[in-house]
Amino acid sequence: MLYFSAITVVCIWALQFGVVVMNPVTNIECDCSATSLESDSSACCVSEFPMVEPAVRVTFRNVPNTSSIIQVKLHSMANFTEIPSQIIDTFENLEYLELTIGLERLPLTRIPGKLKHLNLSGNRITSVDIDAFLNAPGLDQINLQYNRISTLADSGAFVGPNNLKYLILYHNKLTILKRDMFKSAQNLISLDIGCNEISTIEDGTFDLPHIKEILMSENKLKTLSDQIFNGAPSVQNIDLQKNLLDHIGKAFETTTHLHQLQLSENHHLHDLNVMDLTSKLPELISLSVDATGIQSLSTNTATTSITTQSTTSTSIQSPLHTLSISQNHLSQSDFLKQLSAFSKLEKLFVDANKFTRWDDADVRSIKKYFPNIELIVTKNNVWDRRWVESTLIPVFQTNNIFCSNIKYLNTYIEGFTNSIDGQIIEGTECI
């Protein structure tokens, strides 16, 4: 995912391990000359506000240089209706503001004018009204994940920030995306609308000329319009995992710059034609189609044959280096030959299919088909054990190809290697 770089200037932090319960008339004075990390309210200028009740007034003493403080985080079990004015009045140069304080509505009446990153995750916001961020023209990232948002103003929710690049709406309650919802955010690079309840996306919703990443996993999409991505010519990463898709039609015919596509766990996408899909995506380097129910790489036998016979010309055009096609119903003995169209393949995941064996000649030609292959995950198929021991493992060992190492696989999928120095620490195991 595309995220902003971590800000290194951390300015207000009290190590409070619970809610500081005080009488409504109590004032908290934060002594900003304190350097102690002890869990008391006098340390609240070290990095983060203490957790306070809404009626408690927070004031600051001995702030050495308020203009140098650019990051503030406020977490409270209390319910604030808006950003505490003390933050805005005291720290005029804030660039990063993180608030988890029980907010229930947007717009906010006051937002620091120089703010670039606003994190409102974990609040109770139910809607984003028109002109919600009008007073924050400098915002380039808005994080609204883990709220209760079910509605966005049709065309004006994000009016104001002229250079908004990153919008995170993950884990809310959106059900429909209308065509003009993001019209005022024409400079968006990354949009995360995963883990909502979206079943309908109108054509024109993604008319965003600079968008590179659209994340829509864990929604309720059943079909995709043929025109859904027509207005997103620059998109490089699309995540549609864990939806209800049973048909993709021509949705990806205009996404010619797509690098990564994730369609896994759409359990009714039985007729997905992997060979046809990849042939229309000349820049695709990573494809995930796990648990989609497919039985072959191509739904058309003739198409598969043509693709195989024209391996040389096709493989030059396809940069695909990672293919994850696990938990399906593949069983073809000529599977490797069909895949030879992807000569740049480096990592192949075919675990939990129905393979018994692959053609011996294809296995012995594996480095010819895929000169850069490093990892082939083959676990939980119905392999002929003798064939695996006599053919598959010796070829893999000779060519320094790792099979499905359980320890390594569990961490590899999460993006890590199970070792101290980056080397795989267990040997080859293929069945």
Q: What is the pLDDT of residues 116-142, one digit of tens each?
A: 999 999 999 999 999 899 888 999 999
Q: Which residue has the tokens 């393979």?
A: 355
Is the peptide bond between 107 and the residue preceding it cis, with omega within 30 degrees of 0?
Answer: yes
Closest CA to 351 of 328, 325, 379: 379
CA–CA dist 371, 384 (Å, integer): 26
Span 182-200, average pLDDT: 96
Please tell me the predicted confidence (pLDDT) of residue 23: 29
- Looking at residue 404, which CATH number applies to its domain? 3.80.10
Span 284-307, average pLDDT: 78
Q: What is the DSSP string of 331-352?
A: --TTHHHHHTT-TT--EEE--S
More confident residue, 30 or 180: 180
Query: Above 50 in pLDDT, residue 10?
Result: no
Identify whether 365 is part of a domain.
Answer: yes
Identify whether 309 is part of a domain.
Answer: yes
Domain count, the chain: 1
Please tell me the predicted confidence (pLDDT) of residue 294: 96
Closest CA to 215 of 239, 187, 242, 188: 239
Span 215-230, average pLDDT: 97
Query: Above 60 in pLDDT, residue 416?
Result: no
CA–CA dist 236, 317 (Å, integer): 17
Neighbouring residues of 213: CB distance < 8 A, sequence distance ≥ 6: 1, 2, 189, 190, 191, 192, 235, 236, 237, 238
Please tell me the predicted confidence (pLDDT) of residue 113: 75
Span 293-298, average pLDDT: 95
Residues in the chain: 431
Give the whole-number percent of the chain exceeding pLDDT 70: 73
Domain extent, residue 353, equals 272-431
pLDDT digits (tens, 9 = 90+) for 378-396: 988 999 999 998 999 899 9
Whole-structure pTM value: 0.81
Hey, is 82 helix, strand or coil? coil
More confident residue, 142 or 415: 142
Closest CA to 103 of 91, 121, 115: 121
> Where is 377: in which H helix or E strand?
strand 375-377
pLDDT digits (tens, 9 = 90+) for 37-84: 232 334 444 344 444 444 444 555 555 556 666 777 777 766 777 777
Please tell me the predicted confidence (pLDDT) of residue 107: 80
Identify whether 376 is part of a domain.
Answer: yes
Please tell me the predicted confidence (pLDDT) of residue 349: 94
CA–CA dist 76, 86 (Å, integer): 15
Mean predicted lDDT score pLDDT of the chain: 79
Identify whether 278 is part of a domain.
Answer: yes
Find the distance separating the first CA and the last CA of the chain, reported in whole Å. Answer: 33
Span 234-259, average pLDDT: 96
Identify whether 84 is part of a domain.
Answer: no
Please tell me the predicted confidence (pLDDT) of residue 49: 43
Give the whole-number percent of the chain exceeding pLDDT 90: 54
CA–CA dist 296, 307 (Å, integer): 14
> Where is 238: in which H helix or E strand?
strand 237-239
Rounded to whole angstroms, what are the CA distances from 23 to 20, 52, 55, 278, 426? 10, 10, 8, 64, 60
Please tell me the predicted confidence (pLDDT) of residue 215: 98
- Sorting pLDDT into bands at 50, 70 and 90, what band is 303? very low
Identify whether 326 is part of a domain.
Answer: yes
Which tokens go with 384? Answer: 């002929």
Closest CA to 429 of 369, 389, 399, 398: 389
Query: Above 60 in pLDDT, residue 182?
Result: yes
Identify whether 184 is part of a domain.
Answer: no
Query: Above 90 in pLDDT, residue 415?
Result: no
Query: Above 50 in pLDDT, residue 419?
Result: no
Phi, psi (rounded to 5 degrees) for 286: -145, 125
Q: Residue 14: which region, alpha, beta or left (left: phi > 0; alpha: psi -120 to 50)? A: beta
